[in-house]
Amino acid sequence: MGCNQSLEVERSKEQKPFGSQMVSVHPRAGCGGPGVPQFTSTSSHRNTTLSRGSIRLNTLNFGTRKGHACPRPLRQAIQQHRHFRGLFNLSAPVLLWGGLLGPELWDSLSRHKAPYGWQNLSRQAITSTLNLLNSSESAELFAAPGDLPRPCIRCAVVGNGGILNGSRQGRNIDAHTFVFRLNGAVVEGFEHDVGAKTSFYGFTVNTMKNSLYTYWRLGFTSVPQGQDLRYIFIPSDIRDYLMLRSAILGVPVPEGPDKADRPDAYFGPHASARKFKLLHPAFISYVTKRFLKSKLINTNFGDLYMPSTGALMLLTALHTCDQVSAYGFITSDYWKYSDHYFDREKQPLVFYINHDLPLEATLWRDLHKAGILWLYQR
């Protein structure tokens, strides 16, 4: 999750060793190793920020980002850092929407398994979903009016790590322009430590449902809701596309593991397309290959591996915001803290095989040292 645990796997499944840890392996469909499909579009929206035809991933482009009011926007720190300057491509489309759909994109993404593409997934389900995400609001997280420079966009990404318990960071978190939360985001009763503001809630259908089931008694009794809140779907499998389509249409899920499920139970009764964002599979490929290319990919567990939900949300913020702060993410002294800030008793962090949390911890540390993000530590 980018915080101190993983919910893409179920604890009740078969146990397998991972070093000195015990990990639970859940055979999640469609999690092949990361390819890097090109970002392509054959639509008529080629002049929009997120629709650029083929984009070379080794090119760092700052031309689309505004934020001159920031004293030191993260892009300046990237430009000045030899290593990260070669990794970041701030022009890479982060979100997938109907304006990008075309034969070239389908051909490219069909070569790779989910979450990195659409191999063996229903074309009808995917295209019908994307056709509902057909406005400019679906193309960007936060749009500036016309070409006017936007103010400094400061984003807080809040993981669920136990380091936040007793942190008293709530006021600092809420002071950001936007606040990202994910999975089991318990807020009530912990406002002093984690704040109360939620702008974006990120998840896969699997992690959302597992969070509701696992943390119900700990306070996560419903998915965050609010008039201005937006939901970021991470397409880890076909069920994410099916749930998203049904949520926009306001109908039960027609097929798959969530058949007959009612999305309004999670997202409210009046959710429309403007409430939902969909992470681009090629963006997941890009951040995996560039930032989180784990050695696990080349093992027997390679088909299970993907960056954690928290990692994807944090990297999303790093590619869309002008300044980014990370709270509740794994740090080098993780063993001092409970798995989650809302645990009633201290629970040790367990490293699961479908994520590489030590690799993520190293990335957050290095980005913090480079001044590209600010990582909360104690």
Tens-level pLDDT at each residue, the chain (378 residues): 444 444 334 333 333 332 333 333 333 333 334 444 443 333 333 333 333 333 333 333 333 344 457 888 999 999 999 999 999 999 999 999 999 999 999 999 999 999 999 999 999 999 999 999 999 899 999 865 555 566 899 999 999 999 999 999 999 999 999 999 999 999 999 999 999 999 999 999 999 999 999 999 999 999 999 999 999 999 999 999 999 999 999 999 999 999 999 999 999 988 899 999 999 999 999 999 999 999 888 888 888 899 999 999 999 999 999 999 999 999 999 999 999 999 999 999 888 888 999 999 999 999 999 999 999 999
pLDDT at 277: 98
Which 3 state secondary structure label does DSSP give 201? strand
Residue 61: inside a domain, yes or no?
A: no
User: Which residue(s) pair with 22 in the sheet?
Assistant: 17
pLDDT at 304: 87
> What pTM value is reported for the model?
0.83
Residue 10: inside a domain, yes or no?
A: no
Q: Is 234 exposed, middle or buried (0-12, 13-18, 19+ CB in 10 A)?
A: buried
Give me 241's structure tokens: 């596309």
Residue 59: inside a domain, yes or no?
A: no
Quick check: 44 and 38 in contact, CB under 8 A?
Answer: no
Q: How far apart are CA 2 and CA 203, in angstroms?
A: 12
Please count the other Cβ atoms lying within 10 Å of the Cβ belonging to residue 362: 14
Residue 27: closest CA among 259, 303, 239: 303
Residue 280: inside a domain, yes or no?
A: yes
H/E segment holding residue 240: helix 238-249
Residue 221: inside a domain, yes or no?
A: yes
* pLDDT tens per residue, range 1-13: 444 444 334 333 3
Residue 55: inside a domain, yes or no?
A: no
The CATH number of the domain where 177 resides is what? 3.90.1480.20
- List the domain range (segments joined by +) for residue 317: 71-141+153-375
Q: How far apart are CA 19 and CA 31, in angstroms?
A: 22
Residue 5: inside a domain, yes or no?
A: no
Q: How far apart are CA 322 and CA 247, in angstroms?
A: 31
Q: How far apart are CA 314 and CA 333, in angstroms?
A: 20
Cα→Cα distances 299→119, 295, 366, Å: 21, 7, 26
Contacts 24+ apart (CB under 8 A), 347-352: 347/162, 349/4, 349/5, 350/5, 350/6, 350/21, 350/22, 350/23, 351/18, 351/19, 351/21, 351/23, 352/5, 352/6, 352/8, 352/9, 352/18, 352/23, 352/24
E-strand stretches of the chain:
15-18, 21-24, 154-158, 178-182, 200-203, 230-233, 276-278, 323-327, 374-375
What is the overall mean pLDDT for the chain? 84
* pLDDT tens per residue, range 60-107: 333 334 445 788 899 999 999 999 999 999 999 999 999 999 999 999
Q: Which residue has the tokens 């070409």?
A: 147
pLDDT at 61: 35
Number of Cα atoms under 13 Å in the Cβ half of residue 22: 7
Q: Which residue has the tokens 């999303």?
A: 316
The DSSP-derived string for 69-92 is TSSS-HHHHHHT-HHHHTT--TTS
Give me 129's structure tokens: 């979903």
Q: How far apart are CA 191 and CA 171, in angstroms?
A: 8
In sequence order, which residues have a C-beta less than 8 Å from that of residue 176 and are 6 or more positions away?
A: 154, 155, 156, 197, 325
Residue 187: inside a domain, yes or no?
A: yes
In sequence order, which residues have a C-beta less than 8 Å from that of residue 108 and are 6 or more positions away?
A: 37, 38, 40, 117, 282
Q: How many domains, the chain?
A: 1
The one-letter amino acid at 95: L
